[in-house]
Amino acid sequence: MAPTAFVTGITGQDGSYLAELLLSKGYTVYGLIRRSSTFNTDRIEHLYQDPHAKDYRLRLVYGDMQDGSRLTRLLHEVRPDEIYNLAAQSHVKVSFDTAEQTGDVGALGVTRLLEAMRTACPAARFYQASSSEMYGSVPPPQSEASAFSPRSPYAISKLYGHHLVANYREAYGLFACSGILFNHESPRRGGTFVTRKISRAVASIKAGKQDKLFLGNLDARRDWGFAPEYVEGMWRMLQQPKPDDYVLATGETHSVREFAQRAFARAGLDWQKHVQHDARYLRPTEVDALQGDATKAARTLQWQARTRFDALADLMVDADMYALQHGLREFEVRQRFFP
């Protein structure tokens, strides 16, 4: 029998790549989506299947991480083999404004889903999207053995989920894993995260539609990888004989300034002529430097990041320039440029 996966956050960057991966492996994929007055399924539009189709394997179901009874009912109905919990209010800066809701989804949402799994399908395998933001002010390089010192409501909500997964694994013997993923980007990255904000602006400036790009802290350093490679790592975690936690990262660290430099240069532009500071993009507390040590994932999962910093910046700029030049909507460029 082909396996069944239940994916929360399927409409997000990672959810869309994970859905592609699981479908290509023959899974039936149930994706949790939120009811919205406008369509929020752009990133998975190319995967959409008519429910009447013979091989109907992408099944979208309504629900919300803030609605525990619905999650329980869904897991009783679906009885998945694997559960990937990717849903979150994932923007760090926004989490300072919406701290309560960020915690409700990112922390209590994990409790709701694990409780649902415990009653409906305790033999399923569970993946939790933990984050390098949990390290906060801990100096790099950061690994599974590093301490945590979170610096935002987002990071604190993720740390709650992370500890809960470890606790449920120990207390109830659940097969539950956390992936501590460092920043991973792509042409599908949300437009308010810094890499995509930059790549979109570069395309727009190159096309003469915009002149300035306003950014906050240029000194922050991140370990940026390519998202499709990271969802492969999530899947590998759930194929192991035992549940465990793993860091996924490139091992390289670069500043926001370096990303801007590289991205503007890709389009033949000088970043200093276009980038201006705007304090509104600063955070009350910042994470200064992240650099992951993914030795354990390399050893156990045979997983390694392949796309390095320069290639990542280049491919994101190329995709945004292509979209503008060809007058394509976002989901169309995804199919044509990155099939």
* Chain contacts with ligand NAP (rule: CB under 6 A): 8-9, 11-15, 32, 34, 40, 64-66, 86-90, 105, 129, 131, 181, 183-184, 190
Q: Work out which of 14, 82, 133, 293 binds ligand F7E, going by CB under 6 A.
A: 133
Is there binding between residue 334 and ligand F7E (CB under 6 A)? no
Is there binding between residue 132 and ligand F7E (CB under 6 A)? yes
Nearer to ligand NAP, 84 or 264 (CB): 84
Q: Work out which of 215, 227, 248, 275 binds ligand F7E, going by CB under 6 A.
A: 215
- Active-site choice (30, 90, 133, 152): 133
176 within 8 A of 114, measured Cβ to Cβ:
yes
Is there binding between residue 131 and ligand F7E (CB under 6 A)? yes
CB 226, min distance to ligand F7E, A: 14
250 makes contact, choosing from ligand F7E, ligand NAP, none, with CB < 5 to 8 Å by partner type, with none
CB 50, min distance to ligand NAP, A: 22
Could you confirm whether 154 is annotated as catalytic?
yes
List phi, psi (to 5°) of 169.
Answer: -65, -45
86 makes contact, choosing from ligand F7E, ligand NAP, none, with CB < 5 to 8 Å by partner type, with ligand NAP
What is 243-291 written as a DSSP string?
---EEE--S--EEHHHHHHHHHHHTT--GGGTEEE-GGG--SS---B--
| Cα distances (Å, whole numbers) of residue 110 to 71, 104, 107, 302 | 11, 9, 6, 28
5 within 8 A of 27, measured Cβ to Cβ:
yes
CB 149, min distance to ligand NAP, A: 16
Of the ranges 141-149, 171-179, 278-286, 311-319, which one interacts with ligand F7E (CB under 6 A)? 278-286
Of the ranges 70-78, 119-127, 210-218, 293-301, which one interacts with ligand F7E (CB under 6 A)? 210-218
177 makes contact, choosing from ligand NAP, ligand F7E, none, with CB < 5 to 8 Å by partner type, with none
- Active-site choice (17, 135, 154, 168): 154
- Active-site choice (90, 130, 131, 186): 131
Beta strands at 221-222 and 254-255: parallel, antiparallel or unpaired: antiparallel
Sign of the torsion angle spanned by Cα atoms 246, 124, 226, 216 = negative
| Cα distances (Å, whole numbers) of residue 75 to 1, 31, 112, 120, 220 | 18, 12, 11, 6, 40
Could you confirm whether 131 is annotated as catalytic?
yes
105 makes contact, choosing from ligand NAP, ligand F7E, none, with CB < 5 to 8 Å by partner type, with ligand NAP
Cα–Cα dist 161/119, whole Å? 18
Name residue 175's beta-bridge partners. 125
283 makes contact, choosing from ligand NAP, ligand F7E, none, with CB < 5 to 8 Å by partner type, with ligand F7E
92 makes contact, choosing from ligand F7E, ligand NAP, none, with CB < 5 to 8 Å by partner type, with ligand F7E
| Cα distances (Å, whole numbers) of residue 275 to 95, 222, 261, 271, 272 | 25, 19, 10, 6, 6
Residues 98-103: contacts with CB under 8 Å, at least 24 apart: 99/153, 102/153, 102/154, 102/157, 103/153, 103/156, 103/157, 103/160
Q: Which residues bind ligand F7E (CB under 6 A)?
A: 90, 92-93, 131-133, 182-183, 192-194, 197, 215-217, 220, 222, 256, 281, 283, 286
State the catalytic residues. 131, 133, 154
